[in-house]
Amino acid sequence: MPQPAVHSGSTRFSRRHALMLALALEILFVGAYNADRYRRPGISVDIPATRGHVIV
């Protein structure tokens, strides 16, 4: 039976991989946080006289 190929490269967790993992986790956490927040639809063009109304 043939032996599996031995990977001659470094197998340690490099700083580059740690930064990529940290960035991916940050994107997941920020995305989940922003998805849970309620944002009313519409763009506020001017401050309306009645609080809570939005001009769309």
Any domain includes 54:
yes
Q: Over the chain, what is the mean pLDDT?
A: 78
Asked whether residue 4 is assigned to any structural domain, the reply reads no
SS3 (DSSP) at 11? coil
Residue 53 maps to a domain: yes
Structural domain boundaries, residue 47: 9-56
pLDDT of residue 46: 66
- Report the number of distinct structural domains present in the chain: 1
Do the domain assignments include residue 36?
A: yes
Distance CA 46, CA 7 (A): 63
Residue-wise pLDDT tens digits, 18-31? 999 999 999 999 98
- Of 15, 13, 33, whose CA–CA distance to 25 is shortest? 33
The reported pLDDT for the residue numbered 27 is 95
Instruction: State pTM to two decimals.
Output: 0.47
Residue 22 lies in a domain: yes
Tell which wins on pLDDT, 18 or 53. Answer: 18
pLDDT of 14 higher than 70? yes
Per DSSP, 3 falls in state P
C-beta separation of 55 from 46 below 8 A = yes
